[in-house]
């Protein structure tokens, strides 16, 4: 029940296209959902996060869509750029603690 | 911009040896964490630390592991007797009070031979 399932495992998008990564969870006690971006050899960097009281959050080209009833959330990267090529992880924290549970990761490649 | 730092960047050790991985969290943060990432896999939680004690730990964090905040700035992870399967990237993270945002360091690559 602590799992966060992420798809797809890998994604190839043309420059200027929209990248969409999906995550699903079971634990209804999760109440904070961040997305992390990781470049090879680096630590995960917080990209954007959402709480379940809103259905969407946008920061620049990055948008999280959140569907509480379906227990799903997704990351949309608009106007994808080659510099966005990285591994993206969704994650969740439950309201009883501060342990991040990560999804399996999506390796995004944006072709020029 | 303040950031979490970790040393060393790469540690090679023999199986059965003890290793200490070091982290300097962001200065006004109060919550500290260790995560690990086996090559090509997802990031896994090990332990969280607050007010000089462990607040949560995962099943991975067994008796071979310990954490310490020896002074006002460092946060360490000790593995007493390393196994081959301990080879991974180890990430330290910290978060400020009243905020779920966790900021990660660059990681220490541990290789156990």
- pLDDT tens-digit readout, A21-43: 999 999 888 999 999 999 988 89
pLDDT averaged over chain A?
A: 94
Would you place residue A1 in the very low, low, confident or very high pLDDT band (cuts 50, 70, 90)?
low
Give the chain B residue whose CA is nearest to the CA of A51. Answer: B100
The residue range of the domain holding B98 is 5-112
Domain boundaries along the sequence of chain A:
4-111
Give the pLDDT confidence of A68-111 residue by residue, as tens digits: 999 999 999 999 999 999 999 999 998 777 899 999 999 999 99
Return the exposure string of A43-53: e unless at least 16 CB atoms fall within 10 Å of the residue's CB, then b: bbeebbbbeee
Determine the residue of chain A that is closest to B95 in CA distance.
Answer: A98
Percent of chain A with pLDDT over 70: 98
Test B48 with A43 for CB contact under 8 angstroms: no
Torsions phi, psi of B91, nearest 5?
-110, 135
> Which tens digit of pLDDT belongs to each residue from B9-66?
999 999 999 999 999 999 989 999 999 999 888 899 999 999 899 999 999 999 999 9
CATH code of the domain containing B27: 2.60.40.10
**Who among B41, B43, B56 is closest to A98 (CB)?**
B56
**Cα distance between residue A3 and residue A25, in whole Å:** 6
CATH annotation of A4-111? 2.60.40.10
Number of domains in chain B: 1
List the single residue in B42, B48, B106 with the smallest CB-CB distance to A43: B106
* CB crowding B77-92: b at 16 or more within 10 Å, else e: bebeebeeebbbbbbb
Provide CB contacts within 8 A for A98, sequence distance 6+: B31, B33, B48, B55, B56, B95, B100, B102
pLDDT value at A2 more than 90 = no
């Amino acid at each position: 029940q602590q799992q966060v399932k992420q798809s797809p495992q890998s994604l190839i998008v043309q420059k200027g296209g929209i990248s969409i990564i999906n995550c699903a969870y079971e634990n209804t006690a999760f109440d904070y959902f961040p997305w992390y971006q990781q470049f090879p050899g680096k630590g995960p960097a917080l990209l954007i996060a959402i709480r379940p009281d809103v259905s969407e959050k946008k920061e620049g080209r990055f948008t999280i869509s959140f569907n509480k009833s379906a227990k799903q959330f997704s990351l949309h990267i608009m106007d994808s750029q080659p510099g966005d090529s990285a591994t993206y992880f969704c994650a969740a924290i439950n309201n009883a603690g501060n342990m991040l549970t990560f999804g399996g990761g999506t390796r995004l490649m944006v072709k020029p | 911009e303040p950031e979490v730092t970790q040393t060393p960047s790469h540690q090679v050790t023999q199986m059965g040896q003890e290793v200490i991985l070091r982290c300097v969290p962001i200065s006004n943060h109060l919550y500290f964490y260790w995560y690990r990432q086996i090559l090509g896999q997802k990031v896994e939680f090990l332990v969280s630390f607050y007010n000089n004690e462990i607040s949560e730990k995962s099943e991975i964090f067994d008796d071979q592991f310990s954490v310490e905040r020896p002074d006002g700035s460092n946060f360490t992870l000790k593995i007493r007797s390393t196994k081959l399967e301990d080879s991974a990237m180890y990430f330290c993270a910290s978060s400020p009070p009243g905020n779920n945002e966790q900021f990660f360091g660059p990681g220490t690559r541990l290789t156990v031979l």
